[in-house]
Chain A
């Protein structure tokens, strides 16, 4: 049984807005655990409650219901915060500071001794690729650069657990790859990474486990592979009819022409073996057979649709 480093237990937050105290249920029910050493993705469309959940875990917002635990301690706890790094959503930092001044301040707040601060700040600035921006005030930073210095400041306290709220937004594809690589590196160093995003391909490339939240309610939590391979959507067979004749296809199959050949899409539940035998017996060539499993995007869309129907 691995150690749980972050726990949301029935977290809920209702905001009261305006004069009429209109209720906004930003988070209705968030329950998940993050285990030590994994990269955990927190997925959901915009406005589904990701940021609010993370803020409750970081002690910025008090939950209306439920419990938040960081590194085994109820939030807020200074001892736990010492071993935690956090990047807020669309971060904004003291614009009058240069990166090394800012990191030095953060280091001081994290109780890092002065001698270590300078060295660590220089290393982190290099690590997030901001060496050429040293000495420049943060006011002059682009959104992507702010995101990078934000990640550097989250690492300034040498944390065991790193929580990043939408670390990829504002970055170009290259920058996103660098952040993905950085997260994998952090995991190799034995740190736990939790990040929220609505960009799915990034998740498929990095996350060990994910939680998906729709309209404030978590729909599924688990290893990505388990959530996805549960469903085989269809099997795609690519044929070259050649001199042969195409046998009658099973019910529900669709065909379409492609540059490679004829694409036959066999729905879930079709006897693929029998179909292939018939095709070969007819004298056609089989070029490829591809099982189409559910992609993260399919799952995401399905759950969003279920949510809409409910």
Chain B
């Protein structure tokens, strides 16, 4: 486990010293801050606007950062050949992959936390609280980026960074639209329905992590009124973790068989 932690810590350190990640975080913070100004333009809807824009910013930049981190931090090891130095050390290949993933997760946790803190500060500036529904929403977004980053790691275990990023983004877009795609399938007829349903079964249902506006149970969910309960959070988190582990396992299997030339 020490070896996995050493890899994870080094991965985190690399991310912390990466300028691109700082600029992404900077823009995310900018968007959340802009919510304050935009909120002031609305009449009596300030807090609602801030929450919507803030969560949107965390979601958008969280996913961009997750894809960047997942593709970049693994690919760089291969491209810059640092992997030649690391893998002949007494560690298993899977430990390397797992360590990289843990380091990415830590990076994402810190990034999401920073964005969350900025959102809390903006809310406080409007005299509102970073309440439980908002916290739950941010947590779901974190599980979301964990899953997206795992998918990015999976793709970059065997394809170029450009393709990996592209595939991971594709998975995100499709995964977020799973309910829409299933609905579309029903309209298109049985053949298309079967294909689209198969696609939806394969791709993670990322819509789970952005439930605002969806019907859960009998009620429409919203961060502003009735948000999802803790049982929902628990099962969505379980789904995200399980799915991440499966794709991570696949990435490890690919790594196990790979030639590093």
Question: Min CB distance, B259 to chain A, in Å?
Answer: 5
Contact B14 A96 (CB under 8 A): yes
Shortest Cβ distance from A101 into B: residue? B13
Contact B260 A55 (CB under 8 A): yes
Partner of B14, one of A55, A81, A94, A111: A94
How far is B260's CA from A95's CA once the two chains are assembled, in angstroms?
Answer: 20
Q: Is B261 in contact with chain A by the CB < 8 A criterion?
A: yes
Q: Is B91 in contact with chain A by the CB < 8 A criterion?
A: yes
Shortest Cβ distance from A113 into B: residue? B2
Shortest Cβ distance from A96 into B: residue? B17
- Could you tell me which residues of chain B, from 81 to 127, have a CB within 8 Å of some CB in chain A? 81-82, 84-92
Q: Is A110 in contact with chain B by the CB < 8 A criterion?
A: yes
Query: What class of interface size applies to chain B in its complex with A?
Result: 20 to 34
Question: Min CB distance, B1 to chain A, in Å?
Answer: 11
Q: Which residues of A contact B260 (CB under 8 A)?
A: 55, 60-61
Q: Which residues of B contact A153 (CB under 8 A)?
A: 85
Question: Min CB distance, B202 to chain A, in Å?
Answer: 27
Contact A88 B90 (CB under 8 A): no
Question: Min CB distance, B134 to chain A, in Å?
Answer: 35
How far is B87's CA from A62's CA once the two chains are assembled, in angstroms?
Answer: 13
Contact A111 B10 (CB under 8 A): no
Q: Which residues of A contact B81 (CB under 8 A)?
A: 88, 91-92
Question: Min CB distance, B77 to chain A, in Å?
Answer: 9
Q: Is B163 in contact with chain A by the CB < 8 A criterion?
A: no
Q: Which residues of A contact B17 (CB under 8 A)?
A: 96
Query: What class of interface size applies to chain A in its complex with B?
Result: 20 to 34
Q: Which residues of A contact B261 (CB under 8 A)?
A: 15, 52, 55, 60-61
Q: Is B132 in contact with chain A by the CB < 8 A criterion?
A: no
Given A78-B90, A96-B13; A91-B84 close (CB under 8 Å) = yes
The A-B contact count (CB < 8 A) is 78
- Could you tell me which residues of chain A, from 278 to 309, have a CB within 8 Å of some CB in chain B? none
Shortest Cβ distance from B92 into A: residue? A78
Contact B90 A109 (CB under 8 A): yes
How far is B213's CA from A186's CA once the two chains are assembled, in angstroms?
Answer: 69
Q: Is B6 in contact with chain A by the CB < 8 A criterion?
A: yes
Contact B259 A61 (CB under 8 A): yes
Q: Is A216 in contact with chain B by the CB < 8 A criterion?
A: no
Q: Is A106 in contact with chain B by the CB < 8 A criterion?
A: yes
Shortest Cβ distance from B6 into A: residue? A108
Q: Is B129 in contact with chain A by the CB < 8 A criterion?
A: no
Shortest Cβ distance from B260 into A: residue? A60
Q: Is B3 in contact with chain A by the CB < 8 A criterion?
A: yes
How far is B85's CA from A97's CA once the two chains are assembled, in angstroms?
Answer: 14
Q: Which residues of A contact B2 (CB under 8 A)?
A: 108, 111
- Could you tell me which residues of chain B, from 1 to 24, have a CB within 8 Å of some CB in chain A? 2-3, 5-7, 10, 13-14, 17-18
Q: Is B43 in contact with chain A by the CB < 8 A criterion?
A: no
Contact A59 B84 (CB under 8 A): no
Given A15-B261, A60-B259, A62-B259; A92-B80 close (CB under 8 Å) = yes
Contact B88 A86 (CB under 8 A): yes
Complex A-B, nearest 4 residue pairs according to Cβ-Cβ distance, in ascending order: A108-B6, A88-B84, A82-B90, A109-B89
Binding site for A on B (CB under 8 A): 2-3, 5-7, 10, 13-14, 17-18, 80-82, 84-92, 257, 259-261
11 contacts between A and B (CB under 8 A): A60-B259, A61-B261, A79-B90, A86-B85, A88-B85, A91-B84, A101-B13, A108-B2, A109-B6, A109-B7, A109-B90
Binding site for B on A (CB under 8 A): 15, 52, 55, 58-62, 78-79, 81-82, 84, 86, 88, 91-97, 101, 105-106, 108-111, 150, 153, 157
Q: Apart from A78-B91, A92-B82, A95-B80, what are 16 other A-B pairs with CB-CB below 8 Å? A: A59-B87, A59-B88, A60-B84, A60-B259, A62-B257, A81-B90, A81-B91, A86-B85, A88-B81, A88-B85, A91-B84, A91-B85, A105-B10, A108-B3, A109-B91, A111-B3
